[in-house]
Amino acid sequence: MLPILYSFRRCPYAIRARLAIASAQQQVALREVVLRNKPEAFLNVSPSATVPCLTTTDHVIDESLDIMVWALTQSDPEALLQIPEDGLLMIERFDGAFKKALDHTKYAIRFPELDAEDARAEAMHILAQLEPRLAQNPWLFGTRPRLTDLAILPFVRQFAMIDKPRFDREALPATGHWLDRFLSSERFTRVMEKHIPWSPNSKDVVFPAVNPA
């Protein structure tokens, strides 16, 4: 049996898990979850009841970065795992301070005690620190994407889409090109294909359907 990946198409955590799985060419049974109506089979295996969640014959992986590493440990044809130590520190910062600023901007109504513009400015400040690297190379660590790029970009996308025209005006040029390069890639298109929500009567979707070119 294939490992099972419970996913949600637009969730940035799920997007980055799918990116790594697709790169690894590690096929899984993809089950699209409707977050407002989570299936019992998913709730029975996910400790946090959040996507993504990967189940294999002998264990459950409930954190998106752990799923990325699991997939790439099986196979890493693009050498995504070959990153310096500061690549992991970047992921930690985006998973922490950037994600918090993103949420305070996107879901400002939930945080009436906070100033959404201050949160937006903090997110842009964190992004600006990538500009010197991206001005030198198209990706954070050279001419090809690595784990750090694919772990961070789904969150940068989510932030940018809050107000894409404003983001395009305000983002530093190399950072904007980095995001646009990702959004226009076949890699991103492949992992964002739409699937019918899974139910116990559904047939599992095999993902990735074919090996990437």
The mean pLDDT of 183-200, rounded to a whole number, is 96
> What's the token pair of residue 11?
């969730």
The mean pLDDT of 117-143, rounded to a whole number, is 98
For the entire predicted model, the pTM comes to: 0.96
Q: For domain 85-188, which CATH number applies: 1.10.10.10, 1.20.1050.10, 3.40.50.261, 3.40.50.150? A: 1.20.1050.10
Residue 19 has a pLDDT of 98
Using a pLDDT cut of 90, give the percent of the chain over it.
Answer: 94
> What's the token pair of residue 129?
């620190």
Residue 210 has a pLDDT of 61
What CA–CA distances, in Å, run from 156 to 21, 139, 152, 181, 197?
Answer: 20, 14, 7, 12, 26
The mean pLDDT of 91-109, rounded to a whole number, is 98
The full set of domain ranges for the chain reads 4-78+192-207, 85-188
Asked whether residue 211 carries a pLDDT value surpassing 70, the answer given is no
CA–CA distance, 72 with 69 (Å, rounded to integer): 5
The mean pLDDT of 148-177, rounded to a whole number, is 98
Asked whether residue 170 carries a pLDDT value surpassing 60, the answer given is yes
Residue 209 has a pLDDT of 81
pLDDT band at 204 (very low <50, low <70, confident <90, very high): confident
The mean pLDDT of 60-78, rounded to a whole number, is 97
pLDDT digits (tens, 9 = 90+) for 40-65: 999 999 999 999 999 999 999 999 99
Asked whether residue 212 carries a pLDDT value surpassing 80, the answer given is no
- Give, to the nearest 10 degrees, the angle between helix 85-93 and helix 147-160: 20
Residue 132 has phi, psi (to 5 degrees) of -60, -40
pLDDT band at 213 (very low <50, low <70, confident <90, very high): very low
Superfamily classification of domain 4-78+192-207: Glutaredoxin (3.40.30.10)
The mean pLDDT of 119-129, rounded to a whole number, is 98
Asked whether residue 127 carries a pLDDT value surpassing 80, the answer given is yes
pLDDT digits (tens, 9 = 90+) for 194-203: 999 999 998 8
